[in-house]
Amino acid sequence: MNPILVPTLAELSTELEREIALLKMLEAALNEQEAMSGRAVPKGDASDIAYNSAVDRCCTLAREIAELPAQTLQDLRVKAQALAWHAFPDGREPAPADERLAFQLVRGLLDGLPGSGQ
C-alpha cells in the first residue's frame, strides 16, 4: 500500500503565494481588457474563466491550510497568509472591532512580532 502524501503548510504556502501572484496578473489583465473595451469582460470569456479558476485554486489552498494543525509560529503565519487573502483581499483594515482585531493579528503574524528578530 502506498502512503498518502499530505503537503506541509510550507508547501501549501508556496503554492498559495504562486496562485495569488497569478491571480493578481489575471486581475490586471481583466482590468486592462475592460478599460480598453469600455465594458465588463463577458462571463465565459477565456480570461474570465482563467481568473475564476485561479480564485477557486486559492480557495482550495486556503481550505487545505485550514485543515492542517499549526505547530510553530511559522505555521501560524501560513494560516494568517491564507486568512489575509480570503478575508482581507484588498489589505485594508476593516471597520468592526472583531474584524479589526483579526486583521491586526494576521498583520502581526505576517509582519513579524516586535522583538522576534524579523
Q: Could you read off the pLDDT of 28-45 as tens digits, one per residue?
A: 999 999 999 999 889 999
**Which pTM was predicted?**
0.75
Integer Cα distance of 92 and 104 in angstroms:
11
CB burial of residue 101 (10 Å; 0-12, 13-18, 19+): exposed
For the chain, what's the residue count?
118
Measure the CA angle with vertex 64, ends 21 and 79; round to 5°. Answer: 70
Comparing 42-46, 62-66, 105-109, which segment has the lowest mean pLDDT? 105-109
